[in-house]
Structure 1
Amino acid sequence: MKLLKILFIIITAIILLYFYNLNQISIFRVRDIRITSKKLRNSLKITQISDFHSNYLINLEKMLDEIREFNPDFIVLTGDIIDHNDIKLDTVIKLFKTLLELNKDIYFVQGNHEARQELYKDLKNEMEKLEINILENSSTTIIVKDQKINLIGLKFYPKSREDEEIIYYQEATQDLNLDCYNILLRHSPNNIEGILNGEEDLILSGHTHGGQVRIPFIGAIVAPGQELFPKYDKGIFKIKDINLYIDSGLGNSVEPIRAFNSVQFSNITIETEK
């Protein structure tokens, strides 16, 4: 009888953990992020989606409803939208087409999974057909509410190629008027201080997944490319006067496991600082 009780407790615990994890990896939350800037005359609204990893569990229609209510000025995709294990692009293409129903101004930057995925060339072709803006060591200036915004996108580079990345960054920004509001899209926040020129106003990153597993009041246990209990794991960080925001992503890698850190995307509002 005692053994049966123990087995019942163990089985119940396993079932509860299974459904808790399923909730964490499939039921997205929406992060409402608000920051301020003295450079902007009018508020700016951005939806950031990162680290989707072809997560077929995400309810795209519900996500579309959330983004539609927010009504962003544009959407940014900060890398690892596909997974290195993908053998087809159906889930990602469906994501793109869902987002394009809402907003045609979408900007994409490469992550490490795209960098090592044989299908990335095919994915780029599909994005070009859909007129999604690909920023690979390049920049563009857009007009939003009568104000110029610079968007700069850097491809994913490991730390060993940081010197190259600095050169590419300089080339991507050399023709920009940096007095405008400057947004850097870089998939990984790792080693970010080493490439900055001090003119950035906002950096949008992903890559860390918030650690996937977090400890309440402490944060992430691990994050790729960082040591235990990483410095840059999830949320807003200040590097001097620059805002770095790290989204923990809509998908998972290595194992589909999350704890105290459900999948998410972010609606970011940059308000005028009076």
Structure 2
Amino acid sequence: DTKKIIILVLLIILLLIYNQVQISRFKINKVLIESEKLNSEIRISQITDFHSNKNINITKLVKSIRDYNPNIIVLTGDIIDSETEDLSLAFALVDMLNTSKKPIYFVEGNHEGLNSKRDEFLDGLKEKGVFILDNKAIMINIGGKKIRLMGISFFAEREQFQNILDRATPNIYDILLSHSPNRPINYLDDRIDLVLSGHTHGGQIRLPVIGGVIAPGQGLFPKYDKGLVQLEQGALLHIDSGLGNSILPIRFLNPVQISEITINPLN
């Protein structure tokens, strides 16, 4: 009995150590995409679902982004948690990202919307030069090519979805930022080229073959949990599993991450 107890205690300790590594040591997820609409490379750094995670070494995180040298940085929601009272860690992340001298674009996730300091947080982002893209569409120029960047708030209503997506045109590369991967799907068509999202935490716990176990808004064994998905509507959907967690700080076979998304001209 004593031997079994010792083995059990050791297993628990090993699992706790493993989990700490999963929730603190971020990996860099490299995504390669091609498009015939482009004549030069686009590089995007995506950060999502930070949830004010104190376990993340943001100095190391920002260094990896600077090394990648993206054209733009996108924050796809839940940078703070619904319970976050101290905004300083999220603002410190943005301040460090600003040292890269790259434009930063943000869309709201559900946790920002549920936080009592939502307005203070959004105002702080604006003061730091972050572009708030909630229910907006703008044109940006990358490498001499015009790109349309669109954003949808997590709390957008049907009419707002439609108004933004109707701005897309077939001749321009259109990128949509949406915290939720599944909410925009019913409104998409082949005018949208790429959707960048988060929200799912990759299912938080992942199992071999099965994939993610549970995701907010989708329940058990979510269809859209992590990675790059070719949608029937024509768009590519990229779901980043993010840097944080909700409810419990637990991950399994699913380390926290950021994404480096490189879009190359086809041929």
Q: TM-score range by the shorter chain?
A: over 0.9
CA distance in 1, matches of 2:138, 2:94: 20
- Unpaired segments ≥5 residues, structure 1: none
Contact 1:78 1:187 in 2 (8 A): yes
Structure 2 regions of 5+ residues with no counterpart? none
Q: Which residue of the partner structure matches residue 223 of structure 2? A: 231
CA–CA distance in 2 between the matches of 1:83 and 1:191?
A: 20
Distance 1:127 1:135, change over 3 A: same
- For the Cα contact (< 8 Å) 2:203–2:212, is it kept in 1? yes
| Counterpart for residue 148 of structure 1 | 146
Q: Is the deviation greater in 56-65 or in 105-114?
A: 56-65
Give 1:232 shift. Answer: 0.3
Q: Of 221, 237, 247, which residue of structure 1 is paired with 2:240?
A: 247
Mapped pair 1:262 → 2:255: yes
Which deviates further from its counterpart, 42-51 or 100-109? 100-109
Q: TM-score of the superposition, structure 2-length normalised?
A: 0.96
**Structure 1 letter corresponding to 2:221:** F
How far does residue 64 in structure 1 lie from its aligned partner after superposition? 1.5
Q: Which portions of structure 1, spanning 4 or more consecutive aligned residues, are displaced by more than 4 angstroms?
A: 173-178
Among 163, 175, 180, the alignment partner of 1:183 is 175
Identity between Structure 1 and Structure 2 (%):
44
Matched residues, number: 266
Q: How does 1:160-199 map to 2 (within 5 A)?
A: 164-165=157-158, 167-172=159-164, 178-199=170-191
Distance between the aligned counterparts of 2:152 and 2:120, measured in 1? 20
Opposite residue 256 of structure 1, the aligned amino acid is: P
Asked if the contact 1:47–1:74 (Cα under 8 Å) also holds between the matched residues in 2, the reply is yes
8 Å CA contact retained: 2:162, 2:187? no
Distance of 2:185 and 2:120 partners within structure 1: 33
Give, in whole Å, the separation in 2 of the partners of 1:175 and 1:51: 27
Give the superposition deviation at 1:139. Answer: 1.1
Deviation of 1:174 after TM superposition, in Å, equals 5.1
User: Of 127, 130, 151, which aligns to 2:128?
Assistant: 130
Give the alignment's TM-score, normalised by structure 1.
0.93
5-14 or 207-216: bigger deviation: 5-14
Q: What RMSD, in angstroms, separates the aligned Cα atoms of the two structures?
A: 1.4
Residue 191 (structure 1) shift: 3.6
The letter of the residue matching 1:249 is G
